[in-house]
Structure 1
Amino acid sequence: MKKLFRTAAAVLTGTLLLSGCTQLDLSQDVEAFPEFNSWTSYGTGTATYADLAAAANTISNATDAQVRILTSDTAIGRLTPLRKKQATMGRLGDEHMFAYYGDEEFANPEWGPQDLRLVWAPTAPHSLMVTAASGIETPEDLRGKKVPKISANPSVNNKYDALLAYGGLTWDDVTPVTVSYSEQPEALKSGKIDIAFQQVYGASLYELANTIDTKWIGFDPAETEKVAALQAVAPAVEIEPFTRAAGQDEGQEDYGMIYSVPLTSYADLSETQAYETAKALQEHYPDYRDATVTTENWDLEHVVTMPVRVPFHEGTIRYFEEMGVWTPEAEARNEALIEYGEELRATWPEFLAQADTSGDLKAQWTAWKDTHLDPIP
């Protein structure tokens, strides 16, 4: 059965209307969880938002702090308030990686590589829902079907790329349909698209499964070549089982894409603000653990503590060290990622000075990195 979370006045939700927002003092040192926080996230109908709101609501009630959650369907929309210092951090999809490396839509003169840090990195299962009447059983069956291209969301589009790679398909084998991330459930119901990719516990997916028969199309971890093709496109993804999702029967198990959707900040967030946020998320975990299906993955036993593509914030590292979960291997990896990020940001102006800005900057930037920088550590 779906788990719900309770909302409270302490947690405010709004769309990203930035013109009237005040800049926050991200350098301010604190001695407890900050009295006011502004976080960004996916839309209110998603499980990504539900998890974040549950944690924020619990901490707010316990500390009398206020957390404003700003929602957006787009990667740029979730990151812009952080960049403008109108939000302290955001729960981001793979845009936290794309922005760090200046890839995808961040390969443009307005952005380029961003100096980001992970504050807390819970994982969550995502998968691909179809209608029971569609006849689609595996990714291979998507040939000729209507597959979403998610507007301004490189993270999710990367997962669709990976899905097609698993099935031995390309975008030339399917019919791309442009929709926003939150439009997918209704578009699937109306027949505008034939498949939808979301975190499997989203409220909108439960609503959809209550109105029409749906099912999850499967990945098989034993298909090692197909999984390797998927991970070549989306290297942070693991194929693992999930249960209790929208449309599943009691005890049913399907396989989906499991990866981190981390709470992320810029590096200039003060060490104490990151530390107190990480500390609060762990110390208040028992009170929000059962708020949603996936908040049980928000404690130190389950969150990612080894940096993979983006380094952790120094405040989080201090907390990890106090809790005995930060290793020499993690420290070495973190330092290597920080140094690589510094190289990326240092070479970006030189790249732009010689780039053809009327052409494909993404391809030019990729070629520049291959030529001028050592491989990613």
Structure 2
Amino acid sequence: MSLNSHHLGGALALALSTFVAGTAGAAGLPRTLAWTAYETTSSGYGQAVAIGSALKNQMGITLRVLPGKNDLSRLVPVRDKKADFAANGIGTYMAQEGVFEFAHPDWGPQRLRTVAMSLGDYCLVPYAAGDLGVKTAYDLKGKRVSIIRGAPGLNYNLYVYMRFADLEWDDVIRVDFPGATAAADSIVNNQADAAFGSTITGNVRKLEASPRGATFAGAPHGDEAGWKRLMEAGPYYVKHLCTEGVGLSKEKPLEAATYPYPVLMSYDHMDADTAYAMTKAIFDLYESYKDAAPGADGWRRDNQRLDWVVPVHEGAVRYYKEAGMWTDAHQANNEANLARQDVLAKAWKTYAAEAKGRPEEEFVKGWQSARVSALEKAKELPVWRDW
């Protein structure tokens, strides 16, 4: 799978072709910033636009939000320094790990860094047509589930929920689509039954307004066996009571699992001062954007998971230290995450040199084994052994 095989969306490609880095602006940020995000109907895109409006109104900084259909198209501009940050999902972790689409010769483990994240009252869960009686992940059995090409984050997280219900891919019917919007439309049109997304995304609201209606496949918190299976497949998840989204409220919550989304991230090559200034702006401007888009209140400073599975950028660490939030435990976790990235990078460099020229499928299979071997030798959990 060459990089050229993953075409950037037209709007993204056009925006990148016209993007020019601005001169230094307020608060240590350039006058023009570029973020990539999910498609325009996603909650992550809406939150990015809300933050961009606050940056413009309060600091005179223009934020260009570039929608990408999948994890690859969101990360390519950041990797290639054509965009500054990505408001990304769990594809951030998968890119760090060099798995799924990132296991191919032109990718490999990525040295990513987080800056801030949103963890609101909504959840990232499988959603389904409301005419099927789906209430928990167990009800996905036998259903037509949407698979998004080039989006391992969405697809694997659907699988994590399936593991909660002790299901494998053979227990569902996979239907491929080019993007999350197409997948959502397919459910409306009765070409599929379920997909993975946010409880507050426009795609779910569109489904709710259709004759089929919408519902969610939860993960009941008292199901210990189910949670053990889920956490083995997705250690980045947390138990969460979802009160925001279609049909949800404090009176009608959904017991589910979720993870931070969006995660504002960049690469290790991001300038520390810019990362610091971006982090500071996210929290300084919070009151200006928290009610401007569904889920935007999830960017609260006290919602930050500073002990997550991807390292925090050194510039962001500086901010969290100044704010009195950074602890010795956070530092230890960050150093462990950085060490894991070193293990993965070394393993990739060695393997890629040895496997150069191999057919792609053979290359990926070999990397699966080399990756597991390197992580286990370093006494790290592989999480994924194959994909």
- Residue matched to 1:67: 63
Cα distance in structure 2, aligned partners of 1:110 and 1:267: 18
1:277-296 paired onto structure 2 within 5 Å: 277-296=278-297
AA partner of residue 369 (structure 1):
R
Superposed displacement of residue 153, structure 1: 0.5
Change (3 A) 1:135 1:175: same
Cα distance in structure 1, aligned partners of 2:348 and 2:126: 36
1:129 aligns with 2:120: no
Superposed displacement of residue 23, structure 1: 7.0
- Partner-residue secondary structure (3-state), 1:220: coil
- 1:69-112 residue CA offsets vs partner (Å, 9 max, x unmatched): 11012110000001111100101111211111211111111011
- Residue matched to 2:351: 351
Cα distance in structure 1, aligned partners of 2:360 and 2:185: 36
The 8 Å contact of residues 114 and 312 in structure 2, kept in 1 or not, is answered as yes
- Residue matched to 1:94: 90
- Residue matched to 2:194: 195
Superposed displacement of residue 276, structure 1: 0.5
Cα distance in structure 2, aligned partners of 1:148 and 1:207: 16
Change (3 A) 1:67 1:347: same
1:230-269 paired onto structure 2 within 5 Å: 230-248=230-248, 251-261=251-261, 262-269=263-270
Number of aligned residues = 363
- Residue matched to 2:156: 158
Cα distance in structure 1, aligned partners of 2:321 and 2:249: 42
Cα distance in structure 2, aligned partners of 1:188 and 1:34: 42
Segment drifting more, 55-64 vs 240-249: 240-249
1:120 aligns with 2:119: no
The 8 Å contact of residues 24 and 85 in structure 1, kept in 2 or not, is answered as no
Q: 1:177 aligns with which of 172, 175, 178?
A: 175
- Residue matched to 1:209: 208
Change (3 A) 1:30 1:318: farther
Segment drifting more, 352-361 vs 155-164: 352-361
- Provide the TM-score with structure 1 as the length reference: 0.89
- Residue matched to 1:366: 368
Query: Which structure 2 segments of 5+ residues have no match?
Result: 1-9, 382-387
AA partner of residue 339 (structure 2):
E
The 8 Å contact of residues 23 and 84 in structure 1, kept in 2 or not, is answered as no
Q: 2:51 aligns with which of 51, 55, 69?
A: 55
AA partner of residue 272 (structure 2):
E
- Partner-residue secondary structure (3-state), 1:260: coil
- Residue matched to 2:139: 141
Superposed displacement of residue 242, structure 1: 1.1
Superposed displacement of residue 60, structure 1: 1.6
1:270 aligns with 2:267: no
Superposed displacement of residue 30, structure 1: 8.1
* More helix by percentage: 2
Q: 1:36 aligns with which of 32, 39, 61?
A: 32
Q: CA RMSD in A?
A: 2.3
Change (3 A) 1:309 1:357: farther
Superposed displacement of residue 43, structure 1: 0.7
Cα distance in structure 1, aligned partners of 2:25 and 2:291: 32
Superposed displacement of residue 63, structure 1: 0.7
Change (3 A) 1:304 1:19: closer
The 8 Å contact of residues 89 and 263 in structure 1, kept in 2 or not, is answered as yes
The 8 Å contact of residues 23 and 85 in structure 1, kept in 2 or not, is answered as no
Cα distance in structure 1, aligned partners of 2:289 and 2:380: 37
The 8 Å contact of residues 84 and 266 in structure 2, kept in 1 or not, is answered as yes
Segment drifting more, 130-139 vs 84-93: 130-139
- Residue matched to 1:9: none
- 1:307-339 residue CA offsets vs partner (Å, 9 max, x unmatched): x22101111000000000001111122122223
The 8 Å contact of residues 29 and 270 in structure 1, kept in 2 or not, is answered as no
Cα distance in structure 2, aligned partners of 1:14 and 1:74: 14
Query: Which structure 1 segments of 5+ residues have no match?
Result: 1-12
- Residue matched to 2:324: 324
Segment drifting more, 117-126 vs 79-88: 117-126
- 1:49-79 residue CA offsets vs partner (Å, 9 max, x unmatched): 1112111211221111111011012110000
